[in-house]
Amino acid sequence: METTPETFDVEQQRLREKLETMFADVHSELIGTLFYCIGNLDDAHDALQETFLKCWKHREQIDDVQNLRAWVFRIALNTGRDFRKAAWNRRRQPIAEEALMVSTAQSPAARLVRDEQLQTLRCELSKLRDEEREVFLLRQNGDLTYDQIAEAMSLPIGTVKTRMRAAIAQLRLAVGDQS
């Protein structure tokens, strides 16, 4: 089949819509993952834009990708690592995110306890080894299965499960959950 300018334009439009839909569907999860990967909300937004551009640059691969969500998260994770290195070099400090996490349905006392728990969890999450934090975030924020995480990170599934168990154990210990 010969490619004409019209069929090329239709194909480009289809790929753009497929990517835009995917990014719209996972926007919150990507921002959350990138925030915890990088430690700075502004950089997380920049990394998300960079992720989209990288995906667009490699759009010809989209039809060959078996799991588009895992592919996008893998690119986002790699972009986040690059941004984290750049942020480390600039010695940036993470910004507070409390305003984004407050629920108006809670009483002030309950909100204070919840905020303290979230702050403790965020602090402990930042103390995880990068490998453990990335697996945890892909599972929790990315809602990826262990198989998808293994594929996205090019790791054996056993390694993914071990990293997840280590992350959960450390986070449980930090928040006082002995189960």
Residue-wise pLDDT tens digits, 78-125: 898 888 777 655 544 444 444 444 445 667 777 777 778 778 877 888
Residue 97 pLDDT: 46
Q: What region does 173 belong to: left with phi over 0, alpha with psi -120 to 50, or beta?
A: alpha
Domains defined for the chain, CATH in brackets: 5-175 (1.10.10.10)
Give me the residues of the chain with pLDDT under 70, please. Answer: 1-3, 87-106, 177-179
Whether 92 contacts 85, CB under 8 Å: no
What local confidence, expressed as pLDDT, does residue 156 receive? 95
CB 136 within 8 A of CB 32: no
pTM score of the predicted model: 0.64
User: What pLDDT is recorded for position 166?
Assistant: 93
Please give the single-letter amino acid code of residue 97. Answer: E
Cβ neighbour number for residue 102 with a 10 Å cutoff: 11
What pLDDT, on the 0 to 100 scale, is given for residue 96? 46
Residues 124 and 174: their CA atoms lie apart, in Å, by 7
- Predicted local distance difference test score (pLDDT) of residue 87: 60
What is the model's pLDDT at position 104? 52
pLDDT at 83: 82
Please measure the distance between the N-terminal and C-terminal CA atoms of the chain and give it in whole angstroms.
61
Q: What angle do CA 77, 60, 14 make, to 5 degrees?
A: 100
